[in-house]
Amino acid sequence: MRTKIVAGNWKMNQSLDEGLKLASEVINIAEAELPDDVKLILAPPYIHLASIIHLLNPNINVAVAAQNCNEHERGAYTGEISSSMLASMKVSHVILGHSERRAYYNESNELLTEKLNAAFSAGLTPIFCCGEPLEIREAGTHFNYVKNQLTESLSGISSDNYKNLIVAYEPIWAIGTGKTASSEQAQEMHATIRKHLTSLFGEAAENTSILYGGSCKPGNAKELFAGDDVDGGLIGGASLNARDFVDIALSF
Ligand code: 13P
């Protein structure tokens, strides 16, 4: 049985006051309306994590993620945050390999293996992002491109750790563009990803939640989530509005 997950990647948005207000609103609406079998994850900027964790309630299925972590455990890495620091503040999840980090901070598939293993060692659950740029989609090589991302980053993780992995497919051409993958495009890529994960990790892949990301909104979430292999969403822009974010989670 796969967990249904809707995660909100706030990216570099929200002052502390705005972030606290948004998180409180999400938690309040979730308390009243969220079905037991759906999990919400909020991924605010690092500096808001500690304050937002204090708002969490063990009876409400809302968790907190960081948007990144460093691959090292400690040391002279000015400005960086380690996975064990995140775990020490009760952060439970971490987004790794987002296309913005791959593009603007040169994160390679190999570096992401190190980050994944650092996250697992600290007991965090990574949300590992993959997805192709527009030119790859137009060239028709998107399935191989995404499979290669998975092979290169995930071959170096153990089967035991794999059981704690969440995967997010985010076609880069759909991120923040208002262009969404069609439900057929999302499902066929998710099915391809699951098949590939099965070739790497066997039957455990049946239990891996694979989230769709890219201009997912209350108006299109139901159609996207209808795919057999689409287990939820990783939401950018629409996660900055509490009502919209929870409405997406009510779309299963
Ligand atoms: P949008 O929902 O704004 O397209 O962003 C998707 C995303 O990048 C989530 O990580």
Alpha-carbon separation of residue 171 from 46, 107, 143 (angstroms): 25, 17, 11
Cα–Cα dist 204/125, whole Å = 15
- Is position 54 annotated as part of the catalytic site? no
> pTM, whole model, 2 decimals?
0.98
Q: Quick check: 112 and 98 in contact, CB under 8 A?
A: no
Q: What are 179's two structure tokens?
A: 């262009």
Q: What is the mean pLDDT of the chain?
A: 97
Q: Which domain holds residue 160?
A: 4-249
- Is position 98 annotated as part of the catalytic site? yes
Cβ count near 195 (within 10 Å): 13
Total of domains in the chain:
1
Give the distance (Å) from ligand 1 centre to CA of residue 241: 13
Give the distance (Å) from ligand 1 centre to CA of residue 216: 7
Written as one string, the DSSP assignment of 101-162 is: HHHHS---HHHHHHHHHHHHHTT-EEEEEE---HHHHHHT-HHHHHHHHHHHHHTTS-HHHH
The answer to whether the Cα torsion of 64, 68, 73, 75 is positive or negative is: negative
Give the distance (Å) from ligand 1 centre to CA of residue 115: 21
Ligand 1 pocket, mutate which of 234, 239, 241, 247 (most atoms under 8 A from CB): 234
Which CATH number characterizes residue 36's domain? Answer: 3.20.20.70
pLDDT of residue 1: 80
130-141 pLDDT tens trace: 999 999 999 999
8-24 pLDDT tens trace: 999 999 999 999 999 99
Q: At residue 34, what are phi and psi to the nearest 5 degrees?
A: -75, 125
46-75 pLDDT tens trace: 999 999 999 999 999 999 999 999 999 999
Q: Averaged over 212-239, what is the pLDDT? A: 98
